[in-house]
Chain A
Amino acid sequence: MKTMGTENSNGPNFPQRPAAPPFAAASQSATPFLSSGPVVGSEASAFRAMPPGATQTAGPFVSSGPVLGSEAFGVRPMQSGRSNDPSMPPPSSYVPPQVGSFQHFPMPQFSSTASVPPPRTSPPGQPFSSPPFRPPGSHISSPPASFNPQPRTPSVPMGFPPKSINHMPPGMNVPPTSTDSPFSTSGPTLQPLQSAFPGHSIRPSNAVSQPPPVQSSPFVAHPGGYAPPPSQPATSASFLAQRGGYVTPPSVAAPPAAAYSKEQLQHQGSRPVMGGVQGLTEDFNSLSLASVPGSLESVLDSKALARPLEGDVEPKAFSDMYPMNCNSRYLRLTTSAIPNSQSLVSRWHLPLGVVVCPLAEAPDGEEVPVINFVSTGIIRCRRCRTYVNPYVTFTDGGRKWRCNICALLNDVPGDYFAPLDANGRRVDLIERPELTKGSVEFVAPTEYMVRPPMPPLYFFLIDVSISAVRSGMLEVVAETIKSCLDRLPGYPRTQIGFITFDSTLHFYNIKSSLAQPQMMVVSDLDDIFVPLPDDLLVNLSESRSVVDAFLDSLPSMFQDNVNVESAFGPAFKAAFMVMSQLGGKLLIFQNTLPSLGIGRLRLRGDDIHVYGTDKEHALRISEDPFYKQMAADCTKYQIAVNVYAFSDKYTDIASLGTLAKYTGGQVYYYPSFQSSTQKDKLRHELARDLMRETAWEAVMRIRCGKGVKFTSYHGNFMLRSTDLLALPAVDCDKAYAMEMSLEETLLTNQIVYFQVALLYTASCGERRIRVHTAAAPVVADLGEMYRQADTGAIVSLLCRLAIERTLSYKLEETRNSVLQRIVKALREYRNLYACSIAWQGG
């Protein structure tokens, strides 16, 4: 800290001074790039290149314990990168597909309901197309049985155009289309829509023809673990409950999707069979367009109501209003209309924030332009360090520019000067993409580097215990890695290394001059050392043949391995030691619970009595402080950890996942992995992980205009400073969410600007800064906020908040809190138009 103490740090860590490290002083003490001698002391004597078989100790045969149906007990990958996955790709999967599309889903219960015949009458109610909402298909890594409705349910509304958030629990709506007469008149589609719009009248006979609600089946099937309600009376009963609830206050009538599964279970079989049907018939017959107390008249045209867009569609109107904004794939606001006062914020109960995916893949033709400011250096505001963007204004004949975020007048450097035309715009705008485009990339000069840009580095830590071999994981992994070697980014600088482990650690010398990889086994788990100073991590293009030979022989090497122990902690430390010089990406393939050495975990998820009690949340936090500590150390040395967990028994993902969470990595969970069934999934995901565009040793910061500030950050990263996210490795699939709040009680400016800057080392070795800028208007009207709301971003942020909540509270409470939040938002929305209706009604 000595050097830090003398620095006059002025806030943001992006240094302006040549010698200043952007990564604060950690780098001073760490100097990760320090080329040193042998990592550990006297290893020479420890060289043992023995064949694997000889070193396997019998060891106590650890009985595997009860096979925990992990899915059944909700030992869910809380740390799963799934939820933290970018909002970008998932929303795209929610775009209202055609009715039939959900049938592509390989889930048995869905396909059975897919053939449900459409109802007889034309469904009344709001125009909703029928995007069968289906669970986020491509991104579920666990089979349906392990489907946790919770994180998914907020996604339910995604497919629902009219009111994604108001969406009514599909479970309720089951009116089994196989039903007969009692329902024919009313039409099964009634329910969801009606109840979804508290405050809208029931218009059963409204002849707006609706596409047949085949989607009712997806609803039914939606609660993954729950079977579709088998009997119609049960469903009618549930419907009745729903209907009965409709006319009463909205809090009952509009339970968000999150609660439906519970209700559905409760209602199933809890009502008299015949009575339910009768009551429903009567109810339906009594429905009419006439006013029902408490409902809104048809005077109200639902289309005129302010509501967010159909499902997850890009807001065209907004992007036309602000054409210079970055594309919404990079930055999405939960609502593109910022409230101007605290009171308005308090009425908007949904989260207010931003979801950022800085490296989102852009289709051809829309790539982010790269700009190299050779002579002038990167133009930034003096005070707030904002990068120059399309929203800055040039004044004084072009000699000064005003920052749009802090309103400071800055000088324009001589080389950057250009005169202004009659409209006050610079004459050279055409040549300056940074002044016309919302997303640009700057080449960062040496002031932005602590050390020379690191080469892409991939390290594989593979568990070769008996379950790894038996399940076929080892083979699939070796094969996939081999096939991806050609396309790993960063050719020809890419580096690669391997460590395998079971009850001992196996290091591999893959020096290019060797014909065959040399294996060194280390069985001392208490005092871990690295047998070779280098050559454990080699340049891929130079040692290509050795690496190929290694991967070819890997499955056969351990084919007969009967070792059940897993010395994960020591292996991880060893990998850390090897990688700590440069950093890079560490991929861990773990098949069993770590049982030896430091960081061993116990079967704590075994006790089913814990679930549902107050102690439940402890299961979702890391058990051993070793993991958090190692994660923090990894981030310090720019190591990102991706965890691939395969196990049919309890794998403490909460602990293993901590490694990924704080290092900006991802968790891939394949419960009960069998290569025969899940081979393709693993292959696809691993290949994508290795080949996607990756940014190394990155940091990210988001800035916003006056009056607004970011209060919390959500995602897989570590906070380097109050607002600086340290991301050892980012790629095109990662997104981060930030919640914002108003600093002052009343906002006076008309527009709020946001800027996200990501400083990273590209795979090609260039240090770059990717900058996305967006503007959003400030409004005083709640309706406008609903109109500009972005459901994808809202759901993403809600999910993350809920997940973080589950780390300290029970699942029940989290569900309730999400429920309450949505209910409140709906109530506000209803009140918004209740008043206007009263006026209209005269």
Chain B
Amino acid sequence: MRDLLTWLLFFFVLIALLGIVVYQLMCLADLEFDYINPYDSASRINRVIMPEFISQGVLCFLYLITGHWFMSLLSGPYLYYNVRLYTRRQHLIDVTEIFNLLNWEKKQRLIKLGYLIFLLFVSLFWMIWCVLEEDEHAL
């Protein structure tokens, strides 16, 4: 039962992360199609960048302490990438360079999106397996 709950928690955190990344992608797409100006776009994206990093870190940590080290390993690269961006101070969007770097930023986020979806499916699968196993045991 506890297992199920933890998996649910992971699931929600992953959904939240997914939401944040999709939000960033939408802001960038809006910028590209001129629905929004670069100042607002940059400030919106920058507002959610740190929450994204922090929640991803928390997720990884949670995986670790609840013993699902495989999942933790899976989200390792993502964490490493975020940390690297942070140390190089490249994690925030720069208003002056945003148009030049637009394609790179979009690509970065698309990859993150793909990664998160993959993680999501794995955890979903694992969660269902857990539930089934529990059922089996209960039976």
Residues of A at the B interface (CB closer than 8 Å) are: 1, 4-5, 7, 9, 11, 13, 23-26, 29, 625, 628-629, 631-632, 636, 662, 712, 718-722
Contact = CB atoms under 8 A, between A and B. Distances in A.
A26 B39 contact: yes
Given A628-B96, A718-B96, A722-B99, A636 B39 contact: yes
Interface stretch (B28-36, B47-55, B106-114): B28-36
Contact of A9 (B35, B98, B99, B102): B35
Nearest to A721: B34
Given A11-B34, A722-B32, A712 B40 contact: no
A811 to B, nearest CB: 22
Contacts of B94: 628
Contacts of B102: 722
Interface string B62-105: 00000000000000000000000000010000111011101000
A662 B100 contact: no
Point out which of B94, B99, B100 has the most chain A C-beta atoms below 10 A from its C-beta. B99
B37 interface: yes
A25 B100 contact: no
A25 B38 CA distance: 10
Interface residues of B, number: 17
Interface string B13-43: 0000000000000000000111111111000
A830 B2 CA distance: 77
B34 A24 contact: yes
B36 A722 contact: no
Contacts of A7: 35
Chain A interface main SS type: mixed
Contact of B37 (A11, A26, A629, A712): A26
B36 A1 contact: yes
Nearest to B94: A628
Nearest to B95: A632
A13 B37 CA distance: 11
B60 to A, nearest CB: 28
B40 A9 contact: no
Given A4-B35, A5-B35, A632 B40 contact: no
Given A628-B94, A632-B95, A4 B36 contact: yes
Contact of B99 (A5, A631, A719): A719
A23 B39 CA distance: 12
A9 B95 contact: no
Nearest to B99: A719
B132 to A, nearest CB: 45
A625 B32 CA distance: 24
5 contacts: A4-B40, A26-B39, A631-B96, A721-B34, A722-B32
A566 B78 CA distance: 44
A3 to B, nearest CB: 11
B32 A24 contact: no
Contacts of A720: 37-38
A376 to B, nearest CB: 27
Contacts of B100: 712, 719
Nearest to A25: B37
B26 to A, nearest CB: 12
A193 B89 CA distance: 50
Given A4-B40, A5-B35, 11 more contacts: A4-B37, A25-B36, A25-B40, A628-B94, A631-B96, A719-B98, A720-B37, A721-B38, A721-B99, A722-B34, A722-B102
A660 to B, nearest CB: 12
B45 to A, nearest CB: 13
Contact of B40 (A1, A23, A719): A1
A636 B39 CA distance: 8
Contacts of A632: 39, 95-96
Contacts of A712: 100
B48 to A, nearest CB: 15
Which of A29, A636, A721 has the most chain B CB atoms closer than 10 A to its own CB?
A: A721
Given A9-B35, A722-B32, A662 B40 contact: no
A628 B34 CA distance: 23
B40 to A, nearest CB: 6
A26 B31 CA distance: 13
| 7 nearest A-B residue pairs (beta carbon) | A24-B37, A632-B95, A719-B99, A26-B37, A662-B96, A9-B34, A25-B37
Contacts of B95: 628-629, 632, 718
Contacts of A718: 95-96
A719 B35 contact: no
Contacts of B99: 719, 721-722
B136 to A, nearest CB: 51
